[in-house]
Structure 1
Amino acid sequence: MLSALVIDDELFAREELSELLEETGKVTVIDTASNAIEGLKKINQLKPDVVFLDIQMPQITGIELLGMLDLDTMPNVVFVTAYDQYAIQAFEDNAFDYLLKPVDTHRLNKTIKRLIKSGQESSVDVSPIAPQTLDQVPCIGHNRIMIIPSTDVECAYTDISGVTILTHDQKATSQLTLKVLEEKTPLVRCHRQYLVNIKAIKEIKLLENGLAEIVTVSDHPVPVSRRYLKTLKEMLGFH
Structure 2
Amino acid sequence: MTRVLIVDDEPLARARLAALLGECSGVEIVGNVADGEAALGAIGELQPDVLLLDINMPGIDGVGVAQRLAGRSRPQVIFCTAYEAHALKAFELGAADYLLKPVRLERLREALQRAQRRVADAPREAVAWLHGRHGSEQVRIALDEVTCLLADEKYVVVHHRRGELLIEESLRQLEEAYPEQLVRLHRNCLVPPARLLGLKTLADGRVLARLDGTELAPEISRRNLPAVRKLLRPL
TM-score w.r.t. the length of structure 2 is 0.53
SS in 2 for 1:41: helix
189 and 66 in structure 1: CA distance in 2 versus 1, 3 angstrom threshold: farther
Paired residue total: 154
User: Structure 1 residue 81 and structure 2 residue 81: aligned?
Assistant: yes
Q: Unaligned regions of 5+ residues in structure 2, if any?
A: 124-147, 151-156, 164-178, 192-204, 208-217, 225-235
Amino acid paired to 2:88: Q
Q: How many angstroms does 1:156 deviate by?
A: 6.8
The structure with the larger Rg is: 1
Once the two structures are TM-superposed, the CA of residue 23 in structure 1 deviates from its matched residue by 1.2
Q: Tell me, in whole angstroms, the C-alpha distance in 2 between the residues paired with 1:221 and 1:55.
A: 30
Distance of 2:82 and 2:5 partners within structure 1: 19
What are the within-5 Å matches in structure 2 for residues 65-144 of structure 1? Answer: 65-69=65-69, 71-72=71-72, 74-85=74-85, 87-92=86-91, 96=95, 97-122=97-122
In the TM superposition, residue 180 of structure 1 has moved relative to its aligned partner by 6.2
Query: What letter is aligned with 2:160?
Result: S
Task: Give how far 1:22 is off.
Answer: 1.9
Alpha-carbon separation, structure 2, partners of 1:119 and 1:73: 6
Aligned-residue RMSD, C-alpha: 3.9
Aligned to 1:190: 187
Give the Cα–Cα distance (whole angstroms) in 2 for the partners of residues 200 and 38 of structure 1: 26
Q: For residue 158 of structure 2, what is the amino acid of its counterpart?
A: D
- Structure 2 distance, partners of 1:91, 1:75, is 15
Q: Offset at 1:95?
A: 5.8
Contact 1:8 1:35 in 2 (8 A): yes
The answer (yes or no) to whether the contact 2:149–2:159 under 8 Å persists in 1 is no
Percent identity reads: 29
3-state SS, counterpart of residue 40 of structure 2: helix
- Distance in 1 separating the partners of 2:98 and 2:187: 40
CA 1:200–1:8 in structure 2 vs 1: closer, same or farther (change >3 Å)?
A: same
Q: Which structure 1 segments of 5+ residues have no match?
A: 124-154, 165-177, 202-219, 223-230, 233-239
The code of the aligned residue for 1:159 comes to: V
Corresponding position of 2:229: none
Amino acid in structure 2 at the alignment position of 1:19 = A
- The match for 1:7 is 7
Is this contact kept in 2: 1:55–1:81, CA < 8 A? yes
Tell me the amino acid that sits aligned with residue 17 of structure 2: L
Q: 1:35 to 1:180 in 2, by over 3 A?
A: farther
Residue 36 of structure 2 corresponds to which residue in structure 1?
36
Q: Indicate the residue corresponding to 1:17 in structure 2.
A: 17
Distance in 2 (CA, whole Å) between partners of 1:109 and 1:69 is: 23
| Contact 1:156 1:163 (8 Å CA) reproduced | no
